[in-house]
Structure formats: C-alpha cells, structure tokens
Amino acid sequence: MSIRMLPAAHIEKISPATDEQLILAYQQTGNQEHLAVLFLRYSDLVYGTALKYVRDADQAKDAVMNIYQELVQKLRSHEVAHFKSWLYVVTKNHCLMWLRKNKKNITIAFQPEFMQSGEDGHLDDLLAKEQQFKKLDNCVKSLQDEQQHTIRLFYLEGKCYKEITALTGFEWDKVRSLIQNGRRNLKKCMEKNA
C-alpha cells in the first residue's frame, strides 16, 4: 500500500479512532489501512525529523517511505504505549543508521579560510604580535627595579597584592602604588614606541 500526504483534518474524517485503537486493529487484522491512517497523522513529524538528520529533501522523503515499511513489520510485534514518541525514536534511529551506512558519501562544504593561500596574512599577524611583545618586554626592563619586580610578580606570575607584600617585604600601599605607577609608565612607553 502506498502512502500519500493528506491534510490532518481529512485523516481525522477517515478515522476518528485513537492511536491505540488503530495499533490494536492493525495488530489483530494485519490490515495496512489502519497503519496508513495512523502513520499519516505523524508523517510531517517523520519527514521533519528525517530532514533534520539527512539534510536532503529527497533522502528525507525516501526515509519516510522506508520507515513506513519498517512499521509494517515492527508494529505487528511491538507493544507501543505512546505511538508518537515511539515513532520519533524509530525515525531517529533509522536516520542515524542511514548516516552511518552512508558516512563515506558525506560531503563537507568548502571553507576557503582553512586553505593555505599565497598570502601570509597570518604570518604578518604573528610577527606584529611578536614585535609588540618585544616592545613590552623592553618597556618593562626600562622601569625602575621595584616597579619592574612588582609588575612581573603581578602580571606575569599572577600574584595578588598580599602575596607580593609577603615576597618583597613592601607595605600593601606601596605595592599598590608601584603596580599603578608601573602600569602608567608601561602605557606611556608603549605609546611612545608605537
């Protein structure tokens, strides 16, 4: 029996039976008309789910038909309490199996930003950053010894004011002052050498 898409209102006119009643009727009689009415209620869900996984309209339509054929067999022997949820899982599993089987055929879109080109733009960026680090290192070295020492402890070693006071023996206010003045002097030095 082939399945064709029908509006939901038309399906309800064909059979106002519940999902459970249609499943029971199909299991008892084997008449695919009961299964077709049931399946048509959720064909949009099946198609949408398949499309989400296979990402191709024609493949999704094929999946809908294949899933119906699976249901012809599976629904005869499975006890199904919530058909919609069960159908979703069957659809998802069908699509995942299809993806696994066709893994070698998956095409990935060309992304030029990952390709090597004749331009060495990324190399220029690295060189510019390296120059900035050299300037910064020279500016740190140009600071007076106490400022240089506290700046290195605070920024490069990640020490807090309290740890710096313990390491240097300076008062907390002096450490704060050295770091603030050192940061200001670094900024001036970097601007001057820009």
CATH number at residue 186: 1.10.10.10
32 and 95 together in one domain: yes
| pLDDT for residue 57 | 92
| pLDDT for residue 110 | 62
| pLDDT for residue 108 | 59
| pLDDT for residue 4 | 45
| pLDDT for residue 42 | 93
| pLDDT for residue 93 | 92
The low-confidence residues of the chain, meaning pLDDT below 70, are 1-15, 104-124, 194
Q: Cα separation of 83 and 58, whole Å?
A: 25
150 and 76 together in one domain: no
98 and 179 together in one domain: no
73 and 31 together in one domain: yes
Query: pTM of the predicted model, to two decimals?
Result: 0.47
Q: Cα separation of 60 and 57, whole Å?
A: 5
| pLDDT for residue 2 | 42
143 and 65 together in one domain: no
77 and 24 together in one domain: yes
| pLDDT for residue 86 | 92
How many domains does the structure of the chain reveal?
2
Q: Cα separation of 29 and 27, whole Å?
A: 6
17 and 97 together in one domain: yes
Domain holding 83, by residue range, is 8-105
In a domain, 141, yes or no: yes
